Amino acid sequence: MTTVFHPLVKRFLDGELHLADLPPELHAEARAAERLLGAVDRAAVTLPAGLDARVMAEVRKRATAPSGARRWWHGLVASREIRVRYRLWTLGPALAAAAALVLLLTPARPVVEAGMPVVATAPESVFVRFVLFAPGAHQVSVAGTFNQWSVTAAPLALTGAAGVWTATVALPVGQHQYAFVVDGRRWVNDPAAPTVDDGFGRRNSVMAVGAGVRAL
């Protein structure tokens, strides 16, 4: 028995169709869909009053000590050059490594070859080639600040080389945090790129890209 909704029932769930719009044979499925939506908990959530005091205590602390955390944060996000080194890297038998190669979008510039360290410089749009060596993976994508951390927006394709996945993605100039997603679940940082604290206790790979690029 199928456990996926008929496309018309999905439109019914989306509110685009009414029950009367559906053929009779889909009514039972539509009623199951109604039960699903009926189970959605829309109750308001009221947070404890103490939250305001805790936030403001922290805010006051940070406001009166501007040279600490703020300076540290701005140091992380401020636009600057960073080096992105392209290299295959092995993490282990099940999963391996990754690298991001910054390629120049502007015409008449030499393409940087794999294995060549590069520096990204000035502002414009650039292509970034992401490479992940992940033998045994069934699906790989790259998610980051440039695609709202979508695990589906930038899939990598398996190349001829065994276990090597690549994708070339046009990115706006600036700093980008990212990670690779293997089989839709496993998040892997790029060991060949710097990482930054994401502010919530983990680290993300980071790159800075620009319109100019040159070999080191």
Partner 1 sequence: MGTRTDGEIVRAVLAGDTEQYAELVRHYRDRYARFAARMLGSADEAEDAVQDAFIRAFEQLQQCRDPDNFAGWFFLILRNRCLAERRRAVRAGPGGDAVTVPATERADGPLEQDERRRALQQALLELTPEQREVFVLKHVEDLSYEEIAGRLGASVPSLKMRMHRAYDRLRERLKDVL
Stretch binding partner 1 (CB under 8 A), from 98-106, 119-127, 130-138, 179-187:
179-187
- Show the binding pattern over residues 180-199: x = contacts partner 1 (CB under 8 A), - = does not: ----xxxx----------xx
188 with 150: CB under 8 angstroms? no
Alpha-carbon torsion, ordered 16, 19, 22, 28, to 10 deg: 130
- Of residues 68, 92, 207, the one with CA closest to residue 144: 207
Phi first, then psi: what are they for 44, rounded to 5°?
A: -65, 150
The residue among 18 and 35 lying less far from partner 1, judged by its C-beta, is 35
3-state secondary structure of 103: strand
| Cα torsion angle, 22, 24, 28, 34, sign | positive
Q: DSSP class of residue 19? A: G
Q: Least CB distance from residue 169 to partner 1, whole Å?
A: 15
The residue among 103 and 179 lying less far from partner 1, judged by its C-beta, is 179
Q: Is 3 in the site for partner 1 (CB under 8 A)?
A: yes
DSSP 123-184: SSEEEEEEEEE-TT-S-EEEEEGGGTT-SSSSEEEE-SSTTEEEEEEEEESEEEEEEEEETT
Restricting to residues 28-57, name those near partner 1 by CB under 8 A: 32-33, 35-48, 51-52, 54-56
Q: Least CB distance from residue 20 to partner 1, whole Å?
A: 20
3-state secondary structure of 118: strand
Residue count at the site for partner 1 (CB under 8 A)? 53
The residue from 62, 79, 106, 113 that contacts partner 1 (CB under 8 A) is 62
- Show the binding pattern over residues 112-151: x = contacts partner 1 (CB under 8 A), - = does not: ------------------------------------xxxx
Interface positions with partner 1 (CB under 8 A): 3-5, 7, 10, 13-14, 32-33, 35-48, 51-52, 54-56, 58-60, 62-63, 69-70, 73, 77, 148-153, 179, 184-187, 198-202
